[in-house]
Amino acid sequence: MKTITELFELVALAAKSDAVLRQLELESYRGKWFINYSGHVNVLDIQYFPSGWSSGGRFEKCSVNLDDNGIQEAYWFINNRLTK
């Protein structure tokens, strides 16, 4: 069972992957990960754009309450897309 610490380590890796690609591709890079954490209601919303962000572009979404089940769902959502 994954912990909230492990989940937020993956969140950091997703953000770092966007930052590294943005630096390498300069202005042409469009982010793939959009992650919103609402601590006051304990909710994590994640949007992943497989082909990079574009208005109206195709994306996959995961929105969870950060209870035990939500932590597992969000962890594996990010993990499976970071390792493709």
As a whole number of angstroms, the distance between CA 51 and CA 2 comes to: 28
As a whole number of angstroms, the distance between CA 82 and CA 43 comes to: 21
Q: Return averaged pLDDT per consecutive 10 residues of the chain, 84 residues in all.
A: 97 86 60 91 95 86 98 97 78
Q: Quote the tokens at residue 58.
A: 């195709």
The answer to pTM > 0.95 is no
The total number of structural domains that make up the chain? 1
> In which domain, by residue range, is 30 found?
4-82
Strands (E), 1-84: 33-38, 43-48, 60-65
